[in-house]
Amino acid sequence: MSDDDPWDEDPRYAQHAAWQSLSTRFTNSGYRQGIIAGKEAALQQGFDLGFANTGAPIGRELGTLRGIASALVSFLSSINATRAELDEARDIAASLSRIRFNDIAPPDIEAEQHAREHLHEDDPGLVQTEALSQKREMEILEDMLSHMGAGVTQQIRPTREDIAKLKGRLSSLSARLGA
């Protein structure tokens, strides 16, 4: 290597540069993997907590009520029950079948706050994925179809209070039947 030739490289420089590049790539890759693992762990923990405290209890309650109502309709259909009792059981079962989890689950305030923090200042709405938007559009269409010809002008989705009322009606009907 000549001191006069600016194009001559020190071979150690190329090795050092290659080592630096490789080291940087491994560091960045490890950092990304750590971030992903952390997010996955937090996501799993959040899912587990939400499922245990919200999803499972609400789903179990709604499923139990639907099962009792369906069994009662079936039972009343098989015996010589009064028309009013059978109609009441069918109405309760139909009302329970129209309830969606999203209708009665409490809002996820933490998730909504997180979404708001990551929106642009001029965007007041929450971020919706295309899949979520399509699901909501389908639910709106289902609601419209279910009310065609029924003269319903405004759709009001059920609430937790509606569940409590239906549960009371179901208990009352069961008590009248001696069940």
100-149 residue pLDDT tens: 888 888 877 777 777 777 665 445 455 556 666 777 777 777 766 666 65
Of 45 and 1, the structure prediction assigns the larger pLDDT to 45
pLDDT at 81: 87
Pick from 35, 33, 156, 39: nearest CA to 99: 156
For 143, the token pair is 């609601």
Query: Is the Cβ–Cβ distance between 92 and 169 less than 8 Å?
Result: yes
The model's pTM? 0.62
Per-position DSSP letters for 52-86, written without gaps between them: IIIIHHHHHHHHHHHHHHHHHHHHHHHTT--HHHH
Neighbours of 57 (CB within 10 A): 11
Statement: residue 31 has pLDDT above 50: yes
Backbone angles phi, psi at 147, to 5 degrees: -110, 5
Statement: residue 161 has pLDDT above 70: yes
Of 43 and 97, the structure prediction assigns the larger pLDDT to 97
40-93 residue pLDDT tens: 888 888 888 888 888 899 999 999 999 999 999 999 999 988 999 999 999 999
pLDDT at 120: 54
State the helix-helix crossing angle for 160-177 and 56-78, rounded to 10 degrees.
Answer: 30
Lowest mean pLDDT among 12-26, 30-44, 151-165: 151-165
Pick from 95, 107, 100: nearest CA to 59: 100
Buried b (16+ CB within 10 A) or exposed e, 103-119: ebeeeeeeeeeeeeeee
Opening angle at CA 159, ends 157 and 163, nearest 5:
120
Q: What share of the chain is helix, strand, coil (3-state, %, to 5)?
A: 75, 0, 25
Pick from 118, 104, 94, 81: nearest CA to 163: 104
* Average of per-residue pLDDT across 13-26: 82
